[in-house]
Amino acid sequence: MNEPYTGGCACGAIRYEISGEPAVMVDCQCRQCQRDSGTGHQSHLTFVAAEVKIEGEASHWQRVGDGGTVKQRAFCPTCGSAVSMTFPDMPAVFIVTPASLDDPSRYQPQLVSWTAAGHAWDYLDPALPKFERMPPA
């Protein structure tokens, strides 16, 4: 069995542990991810049907993304750090950002999505496959 992915918010009030490997690691340039990250993209580790254990109570907000998917973001009510993202219509999907990991070096981006909303100043690895919107399933 592989080492679980562990992490949490900046103040430590929320902690998570995820067993299983990410289905994909992606840099997303959609406008919502730009706004959420405060820069040109947000990076995600996307887990599907993984065992997730969470300690602490997160606050939530939700929004419809650029592609029409309802996204629910979880953040720490104490420090404001983003903790996770889920999709009400896809309960088996659980997403965290590399910055929330105890070991962020485990993040290895595999592709870039929503380049149609990207900015020239947001430099990303030119070797990564890029998709104007979401990659095909």
User: Residue 32 has what DSSP assignment?
Assistant: H
Domain ranges of the chain: 5-117
Pairing between strand 90-96 and 42-48?
antiparallel
Nearest Cα to Cα of residue 44 among 126, 134, 137, 136: 134
Residue 16's pLDDT is what?
A: 97
- Round to whole Å and give the CA distance between 81 and 61: 13
Burial category of 96 from C-beta neighbours within 10 Å (exposed 0-12, middle 13-18, buried 19 and up): buried
CATH code of domain 5-117: 2.170.150.70
User: Which tokens hold the place of 91?
Assistant: 């309960």
Partners of residue 36 on adjacent β-strands: none
Residue 105's pLDDT is what?
A: 96
pTM: 0.87
Print pLDDT tens along the chain (137 aa).
589 999 999 999 999 999 999 999 999 999 888 988 889 999 999 999 889 999 999 999 998 876 777 889 999 999 999 999 999 889 999 999 999 999 999 999 999 999 999 999 999 899 999 999 888 76
Distances (CA, A) of 58 to 26, 62, 82, 85: 24, 13, 9, 11
Q: What are residue 65's phi and psi, to 5 degrees? A: -75, 175
- Which residues 6+ apart lie within 8 Å of 66 measured at CB? 30, 31, 32, 114, 117, 133
Q: What are residue 52's phi and psi, to 5 degrees? A: -120, 125
